Amino acid sequence: MKKYLKHFCVLFIVVGVLLVVYIALSIVKKPTAGYVRTNAQEEERVFDYADVMTDEEEEALRDLIDEKEGQIGCDIVLVTIDDPSIDSDYAMMNYADDFYDEKEYGFNAPWGDGALYLDNWANGYCWFSTSGRVEDKYSSQAIDNLIEEVCLTVNDDPYGAYSAYVESLSRKMSRQGAASIPFTYILGAAFIITFVYVIIGVVNNKGKKTTTANTYVEGGQPLFHDRRDIFVTKHTTSRHIERSSGGGGGGGGHHISSGGHSHGGGGGRH
């Protein structure tokens, strides 16, 4: 019992040390609030061409975007359209990237740090375009997650869904250094370290064997009964799992827009 208690104590100590380090690094690496804008080419951030929000909701979204942009140092743009001719991920990608480029968005410089969410209410296609630091930060999976979060509620509550887009982007871009490491990884590392410690302890304290499998067998030789398993036949069943077409997205990855600027992005449909 004392042996197991000792191992648990080691685990708790390791978790405690890693937690302290994690919190300390999170404080040290905490992003500085109040970025200074160095690009003032375009002030508007909300273009509700599809008219899915009220004027009050648009204004509230602008205020939220203004607050978050100062915290993360990235432009945050929303565009809604109602155009049935734009009916593919490729068309949405081109529209979003060209819109960003023509307005010369970018918190730090034209075509710099920022993102644009485009939603086509004529057919439900949407596209998340990234640039600069946002392009570097977002993997295809992270893009899919953001699109899925917005698509989940956008049909019933456009303002709420687009606010979630702004909040999600802000959270993602606020994570730097240690803060970007999920705590579950820290906990997993603690268990691995403890497991290695236990294994090393068992190996080092392993005693010399004084008995063998035949020590107490009469005549020193074990007697085995003839038992066997006979393989008769083999049957394999497979099942195809369909992926839902709603609320998902496919990462568009990094590419060069028609204007010659680097973008990342991905699309989905609601």
Give a yes or no: residue 36 inside a domain. no
Q: Please tell me which residue, 184 or 160, carries the higher pLDDT value.
A: 160
Give a yes or no: residue 8 inside a domain. no
| b (16+ CB within 10 A) / e for 209-219 | eeeeeeeeeee
User: Tens digits of per-residue pLDDT, 194-229?
Assistant: 666 667 766 666 555 555 555 555 665 665 565 665
Quote the domain boundaries for residue 136.
46-175+262-269
Q: Are 270 and 249 in contact (CB under 8 A)?
A: no
Give a yes or no: residue 20 inside a domain. no
Tokens of 102: 């023509």
pLDDT of residue 210: 56
* Cα atoms in the Cβ-side hemisphere of radius 13 Å centred on 234: 2
Read off the pLDDT band of 54 (50, 70, 90). very high
Q: Are 127 and 96 in contact (CB under 8 A)?
A: yes
Q: Are 36 and 71 in contact (CB under 8 A)?
A: no
Question: What is the model's pTM?
Answer: 0.64
How many domains, in total, are found in the chain?
1
CATH code at position 168: 3.10.310.50
Give a yes or no: residue 234 inside a domain. no
Give a yes or no: residue 214 inside a domain. no
